[in-house]
Amino acid sequence: MILFLALTAFATAIAGATAFVIFWPLTLVHIRDRHPAIAEQLGEGAFLKPKALWWLLRRGYRAYPDASLSGLATPAWVSLLVILDGLAMGGALWIVGKALA
């Protein structure tokens, strides 16, 4: 049962990744087109750069009064949290499952 729950947690992380690959590129295109200062801060090819992901994770977009930016970045932030939480929960459950087997 524990390994099933671990598999479910990994499936949740995959669902989060699906949402992430939809909303994060849209956010980056919006940043490129309307916020050159942020684009310069994040750098070229920011999709999987740790600096850009950390900016998203700490919700750096909230410092800018742009409802469109928040509307795109918030779902990307939530999906990044889902990915991280799903991987952490799945990994912890997998370790527990292996220890009990």
Q: What is the pLDDT of residue 19?
A: 98
**What's the pLDDT tens digit per position in 16-56?**
999 999 999 999 999 999 999 999 999 999 999 999 999 99
Query: Which positions ≥6 away from 65 have C-beta within 8 Å?
Result: none
**What's the pLDDT tens digit per position in 61-70?**
999 999 999 9
Q: What is the pLDDT of residue 101?
A: 77
Phi and psi torsions of 55, nearest 5°: -60, -45
Please tell me the chain's helix, strand, coil percentages from 3-state DSSP, rounded to the nearest 5: 85, 0, 15
The pLDDT > 70 percentage for the chain reads 100
Cβ–Cβ under 8 Å, residues 2 and 93: yes
What is the Cα–Cα distance from 26 to 29, expressed in whole angstroms?
A: 5
Closest CA to 87 of 15, 25, 22, 23: 15
Give this prediction's pTM. Answer: 0.92
Q: How confident is the model at residue 89 (pLDDT cuts 50, 70, 90)?
A: very high
Query: Which positions ≥6 away from 94 have C-beta within 8 Å?
Result: 3, 6
